Structure 1
Amino acid sequence: MSFLQDNPEVRTIRVAAADLNAQARGKRMPARFADKVAVEGTRFPLSVMNLDIWGEDIDDSPLVFAAGDPDGVLHPTERGFVPMPWLDTPTALLPLWMYHEDGRPFDGDPRHALARVQARFAEMGLTPVVATELEFYLIDDSGKTLRMPASPRSGKRRQGAEILSLRALDAWDGFITELYDGCEAMDIPAETMISEAGLGQFEINLTHQADALKAADDTWFFKLLVRGLARRHGFAASFMAKPYENYAGNGMHVHFSLLDREGRNVFDNGGPEGTELLRHAVAGCLDAVRGSTLVFAPHSNSYDRLVPDAHAPTAIAWGYENRTAAVRIPAGAPQARRVEHRVAGGDVNPYLMLAAILGAALTGIEDGLAPPAPITGSAYTQSLPRMPDDWGRAIDLFETDARIARIFPPALIENYVATKRQERHYIAELTPEERVDLYLDTV
């Protein structure tokens, strides 16, 4: 409770958990009730963690009418209260995760899925060190056509992309400064920001940290923060995988290494190629790409990003310093040797994404898998295995792939598949404009 004691101006609190679509599901209450919820937690129906993208129950879900729609008990995560600086009223968020009445973690909670994977690494004496890179667009969606918001400095709208442009960053200095201030207040380790290849597209790097759960929390909090601040400024910030047909999509790249009990990077062999353990991890990641594509591309719009020559991978391949591959080994000092996983879009659930990537790497290490030879040149022009480019096929693979069953509990797989099949059914009835309107703010 020290946060609220140190911040007596906080008038309201939110208590919330991330559902399978990473939507914040929760409640609002006056700050004077914070003590009670921080100690005792609160209750939601278990089914709330398994709603579709519209926030509707899943048809025929075993969590709803068949079971009487029972409650779960939500307890605060280790993060505690964090401010919500995008709101006018001083407010704090208490992040939660869900348990059964008897204290067992609820398998349908994506944060528990990541905790399971992290615990498996700990049993092997290994600690994942994780960083995420988030791409997003600033968008004026006030008219019939999406466009870049007018610069607060010049009043003009950019007419084209400006990669690594200081001018593009300076045009939004006020907003970006407020964004960094918000990250500081929320303890989100935001580091470098650049302008990207799309019209009004930016990327921010969150620093490496030896706690995958905190890395996922930070990624989720950042998405809430930037979307909230953008609306406060009169425009949208969107992590939608492909808001513009003719510009690059939004990706979410993940970097990870592994430390042993003495704090040594087990991927470091003193040279650029890395260790056998690194190659096992790469092989596990590649082996699981097809089955886990639904996690990396969870929505209808996600598959518009996964096309050749669009700064997103389409082939299941790896390489050194090769951004066309699904998995890249960046150059740099040997002690920083790491894996970069480049498949996920910006529209993912970060808990499921990190669970899928780290779980796949762990499978590769446990099984001693060997990867194919690293590629050179463009993966787009080579005859290589391809990831599924169809949402329905990705759903089927996630449901049946034995590698996925080693990473995620059966209940989560069942719930996620049912969610995505329901969304696919109803999204088929929407116009392209309605799909953009649905995804622009939600994902």
Structure 2
Amino acid sequence: MPAPSADWLHDRPQIRTIRAAACDVNGVARGKRMPIPSAVKMLKDGTRFPFSALNVDIWGEDIADSPLVFDSGDRDAILFPTERGFVPMPWLEAPTALLPIWMFHEDGRPFEGDPRHALSFVQKRFAEKGLTPVVAVELEFYLIDDSTRRLQVPISPRSGKRRDAAEVLSIRALDAFDIFFTDLYEACEVMDIPADTLISEAGIGQFEVNLMHQADPLKAADDAWLFKQLVKGLARKHGFAASFMAKPYEDYSGNGMHAHFSVLDADGKNIFDNGGPEGTDALRHAIGGCLAALSDSALVYAPHLNSYERIVPGSHAPSAICWAYDNRTAAVRVPSGPPAARRIEHRVAGGDVNPYLALAAILGAALMGMEDATEPPARITGNAYDQDLPHIPRDWGSAIEAFADSPLMPRIFPKELIRNLVLTKRQELRDMDELTKHEQMDLYLDTV
């Protein structure tokens, strides 16, 4: 991908301001607003803000015991544009562009606490072996009327009615918000987000969009990160909310981010394809790696208190550590289809995840499994919820400590990223006790 250029701005004189932003450990955009001349200068010189800015809690507060804050003098990092370049922000009233950036040390070393660098490190490990992961994600979200304390589906702009009913694969539900979804697809096109099919899901006002596969995990994660910002911003422009939080409604399914991936060799051949439905040894070992790391990496897939309300039996989200062919109750699924498209679907992550960390965890675990020739347990058949299987950590505290103590996570993530995420989540766990259920809901609704 070519380096960002000022020509993009010269060709779009209507753009008046820029947001330069990086992704923090919670997936929240942190950055600055600047005029056009400052943005042009930044293409060469970068910009600065503290290392600690990518390691704040979900409220945007410093981590009290982080060595990035007072112990180090709250030093500045330097941030440069990513390969993505300028991206329009169609949900704002004034013509504006976002410039995604990522964090480095003064001497040019990547800052190992930056989530985008964590995924880049995993991608480079694949490249060193002559391998290329091909990745696609599916993102679920709710459209919500949050104008009162009781969350509910918004009134349809077309009918003027509110229909409190779950409508799986309903065209009527899609048509009820056709104006919003038309604007969404147009915005995805101008932002270079490859939005594919859209369906209504099992919850009231719940929808899912598939993003097209990419032979570049960083591009796939960028797409997911930008898509979440777009959906939330555009919904507000239309007079309601959109949320990717894991479980906004107690009685309806939660939001997931399902990741599909295959791996190509240097000749462009899918190494999971053996010409039949069962797949290759590489497929089996990648599954083994994903399952072996699943308990320790659960914090990445379920990073918030609300996340654990989604990972319960019978909730359309996997709760057991298992795999299967074409079975959506399993944590890791091998979809049916032509052998050339043989792939793995990792179904554990909630919609509230940081996409960079989630894809780093998934691909890093798969690579670890292939390196170690990890054999998975026997595949399951039937309903995973009804079987005696090892369980994904059932609560936030257990997941935090499993991630902190894991011997496997340092094989996937830099130690600095592990430390920063653990400190962040321990602080959030402590402070969340002070909030009522309604205050927790209000916090997560917009931030994740």
Give the TM-score taking structure 1 as reference length.
Answer: 1.00
> Secondary structure at the residue paired with 1:402?
coil
CA distance in 2: counterparts of 1:428 and 1:288, whole angstroms = 29
Asked if 1:142 corresponds to 2:171, the answer is: no
Instruction: Name the aligned partner's letter for residue 16 of structure 1.
Output: A
Contact persistence 2:245–2:351 (CA under 8 A):
yes
Residue type of the partner of 1:305? R
Displacement, 1:188? 0.3
Q: Deviations over 1:299-334 (max 9, x none)?
A: 000000001100000100000000000000000011
- 2:51 corresponds in structure 1 to 46
- Report the Cα distance in structure 1 between the residues aligned to 2:392 and 2:199, rounded to whole angstroms: 29
Residue aligned with 2:309, SS: helix
Q: Does 1:70 align with 2:75?
A: yes
Aligned to 1:35: 40
Partner residue of 1:229? Answer: 234
Among 237, 250, 267, the alignment partner of 1:262 is 267
| Alignment partner of 2:106 out of 98, 101, 108 | 101
Instruction: Map Cα deviations across residues 17-50 of structure 1 (whole Å, 9 max, x no partner).
Output: 0000011000001123221011111001000010
Q: Could you tell me which of 18, 28, 31 is aligned with 1:23?
A: 28
Q: Is 1:243 the counterpart of 2:248 in the alignment?
A: yes
Structure 1 residue 112 corresponds to structure 2 residue 125: no
TM superposition shift of 1:212: 0.1
The secondary structure found in structure 2 opposite 1:268 is coil
CA deviation profile, 1:195-215 (whole Å, cap 9, x unmatched): 000000000000111000000
Question: How far, CA to CA, are the matches of 1:144 and 1:319 in structure 2?
Answer: 41
Structure 2 gaps of 5+ residues are 1-5
Q: 1:10 — aligned with what?
A: 15
- Give the Cα–Cα distance (whole angstroms) in 1 for the partners of residues 411 and 396 of structure 2: 22
For these two proteins, the number of residue pairs brought into alignment is 443
AA of the residue aligned to 2:371: E
Other-structure match for 2:330:
325
TM (norm. structure 2) is: 0.98
What is the rounded CA distance, in whole Å, between the counterparts of 1:290 and 1:203 in structure 2? 26
Q: Report 1:33-432 matches (<5 A).
A: 33-432=38-437
1:194-244 per-residue CA deviation (whole Å, 9 max, x = no partner) reads 000000000000011100000000000000000000000110000000000
One-letter amino acid of the counterpart of residue 100, structure 1: H
Aligned-pair RMSD on alpha carbons?
0.5
Q: Distance in 2 between matches of 1:37 and 1:101?
A: 15
- Distance in structure 2 (CA, Å) of the matches to 1:29 and 1:148: 36
In structure 2, what residue type is equivalent to 1:21?
Answer: N
Once the two structures are TM-superposed, the CA of residue 143 in structure 1 deviates from its matched residue by: 0.6
3-state SS, counterpart of residue 289 of structure 1: coil
Deviations 1:125-167 (A, max 9, x none): 1000000000000000001100000000111111210000000
The Cα offsets for residues 365-400 of structure 1, whole Å up to 9 and x where unpaired, read as: 000011111100000000111110110000001011
Query: What is the aligned-residue identity percentage?
Result: 69
CA distance in 2, matches of 1:205, 1:87: 24
SS of 2:408's partner is helix
* DSSP-derived class of the 2:199 partner: strand
Q: Give me the whole-angstrom Cα distance separating, in 2, the residues matched to 1:29 and 1:358.
A: 36
Task: Measure, in 2, the Cα distance between the counterparts of 1:268 and 1:300.
Answer: 39
Residue type matched to 2:333 in 1? Answer: R
Distance 2:83 2:164 in 1: 45
Structure 1: which 5+ residue stretches go unaligned?
A: none
Instruction: Supply the distance in 1 between the matched residues of 2:356 and 2:215 (Cα, whole angstroms).
Output: 15
Residue 2 of structure 1 deviates from its aligned partner by: 2.3
Amino acid at match of 1:67: S
CA distance in 2, matches of 1:393, 1:108: 22
Structure 2: distance between partners of 1:69 and 1:358: 33
Q: Which amino acid aligns with 1:271?
A: G
C-alpha separation in 1, matches of 2:79 and 2:38:
16
Query: In structure 1, how many angstroms separate the alpha carbons of the residues matched to 2:8 and 2:277?
Result: 44
How far did residue 170 of structure 1 move? 0.7
